[in-house]
Amino acid sequence: MLKDQLCNYIEKKQVLSIDSVIKELGISPSSVYRFIKDESLERVSKGVYVKSNLWNDEMNLLSKRTSVAVFSHESALLLHNLTDREPSSLTVTVPSTYNASSLIKTGVRVFYIKPDFLGIGKTNLMSLEGNLVPSYDLERTICDILRSRSQIDVQVVFGALKAYVKRKDKRLDILSDYAKKFRISKLISQYLGVLL
């Protein structure tokens, strides 16, 4: 019964987070560790395990490990098909109150933002492996890359802007609204004025 419960959990979530299992299913830590050992699960980070035969979806695993992280900047560009360059590392945004040292140690590129702004444009997108992960919508992604343009390859920025302008699903009204919130309206006008 316990084994079936845990097998169903890992099938559904594709990952086993010890803390989540204890909270959601009310299973004792010792039982969870016994299951991990019996099933030969592979440790991907502290307290997070996957089936050893499961092809790892880095974005999915990171989103399970750190619930406050939102895929942004180059990672979001990739999810929105606004770039053909796969970033050298995953890029996330976290609240400025969050200690992201464990993410940075694993090679994740971290951007910080005031907690009030973290949820603006937040959505769920399909990772390249087909799992839903937290990310930002098109318009927030455009705002982010322009706000951080000095830290992003200029070809990536211009390529993304050109691709955005050609998109049929672009929402310029939403982009304008976000630009006001982030105080970059003039910057958006300068860049998009040339392309539109």
Quick one: which of 97, 110, 93, 99 has its CA closest to 182? 93
Q: Give the type of residue at 32.
A: V
Go through the domains of the chain in sequence order and give each one's CATH number.
Answer: 2-55 (1.10.10), 59-195 (no CATH)
Does the pLDDT value for residue 129 go beyond 70?
yes
Read off the pTM.
0.76
Q: How confident is the model at residue 143, as a pLDDT?
A: 97
DSSP structural state of residue 119: T
Q: What is the mean pLDDT of residues 10-37?
A: 80
Segment 74-104, tens digit of pLDDT: 999 999 999 988 888 999 999 999 999 999 9
Segment 42-75, tens digit of pLDDT: 777 777 777 765 556 789 878 877 889 999 999 9
Give every CB contact of residue 98 below 8 A, 6+ residues apart in sequence: 68, 112
DSSP string covering 77-117 = HHHTTS-SSPPSS-EEEEETTS--HHHHHTT-EEEEE-HHH
